[in-house]
Amino acid sequence: MPDSARPAPVIDWTRYDAVLFDLDGVLTATARLHAAAWTRLFDDYLAQRAAAHGERFRPFEPRDYAQYVDGRPRYDGVRAFLASRGITVPDGAPDDPPERETVSGLGNRKNALFFAILATEGVDTITGTVAVVRHVRRHGVRTAVVSSSRNCAAILDAAGIADLFELQVDGVAAEQRGLAGKPAPDTFLHAARALGVAPARAAVVEDAIAGVAAARAGGFALVVGIERAGAPGDLLRAGADRVVTNLADTLPDGAGPAAAAAVEDAG
């Protein structure tokens, strides 16, 4: 078994000048909400399209989410998935209404579905990751959130953890600065520059194939993947140095999984 596929050893997080964290599925348990919104969007759209064209309906599958959508900016995810099915629609404009059959319209429909689900289910943090954030902050390591989500600030505020990060680079910031989305490394590199930290002195924590690939392409010193879809090999192949199911497993004695909840409560 390759070393990177074994249970993760303790990581000395304090050796890095900064740790950059993805949001959905890493800091907050919102990845399943996004997956549900994407599934509802594409299943409805594909069913309508199949009926209109007399085609066989092929539903949106978990593998589609992982391969084409997860970790990418919203409109890029729409384009990538539709292209995988040989479907082309106009890009449209960012203010397209959700019912319009354009990349922007479909992306906006997904966003509306996500917020409808979020309003019902709320936002939970992922305790193990938050324990690591608090651990590195206590040791003077700088922290940032790097997310493709345009709703990053709202989700961090709703989760009550916005104050744990000195920088947020999200989908809005990427658009304003002309940064390519994941799997391009641009957003991670921008965050490192803004913190004044070289990628070779920084670590990245991700759960998406696109995000891991982006961090690896950026030349970061350590890329840790959080496995939540039962396919750690996908993250390893994308460039993760380590894959874990609970980031708190990488903490030293006294701050590991058993203490994660206590660490968070103490914060």
pLDDT tens column, 238-251: 999 999 999 999 99
Q: Helices 186-195 & 209-217, crossing angle to 10 degrees?
A: 60
CA angle 51, 56, 59 (to 5 degrees): 95
Give me the percent of the chain exceeding a pLDDT of 70. Answer: 91
Per DSSP, the three-state class of 149 is coil
Q: Answer whether residue 95 shows pLDDT above 90.
A: yes
- Per-residue pLDDT, averaged over 54-60, amounts to 94
**Residue 111 confidence (pLDDT):** 93
> Which of 3, 17, 24, 249 does the annotation list as catalytic?
24
163 is catalytic: no
**Residue 229 confidence (pLDDT):** 66
Q: Answer whether residue 264 shows pLDDT above 90.
A: no
Q: Answer whether residue 7 shows pLDDT above 70.
A: no
**Residue 4 confidence (pLDDT):** 43
Q: Answer whether residue 267 shows pLDDT above 50.
A: no
For 207-230, what is each residue's pLDDT tens digit? 999 999 999 999 999 999 999 766
Contacts of 201 (CB under 8 A, 6+ apart): 16, 17, 18, 221
**Residue 266 confidence (pLDDT):** 40
Is the CATH code 3.40.50.300 the one for domain 3-29+124-266? no
pLDDT band at 253, cuts 50/70/90? Answer: confident
> Which of 17, 22, 64, 249 does the annotation list as catalytic?
22
Q: Answer whether residue 88 shows pLDDT above 90.
A: yes
Q: Answer whether residue 256 shows pLDDT above 60.
A: no
157 is catalytic: no
For 123-132, what is each residue's pLDDT tens digit? 899 999 999 9
pLDDT band at 30, cuts 50/70/90? Answer: confident
How many Å apart are CA 92 and CA 136, to the nearest integer?
Answer: 43
> Does pTM surpass 0.85?
no
* 54 Rama class: left (phi>0) / alpha (psi -120 to 50) / beta: left
Q: Which helix (H) or strand (E) holds 84?
A: helix 74-84
Where does CATH 3.40.50.1000 sit in the chain? 3-29+124-266
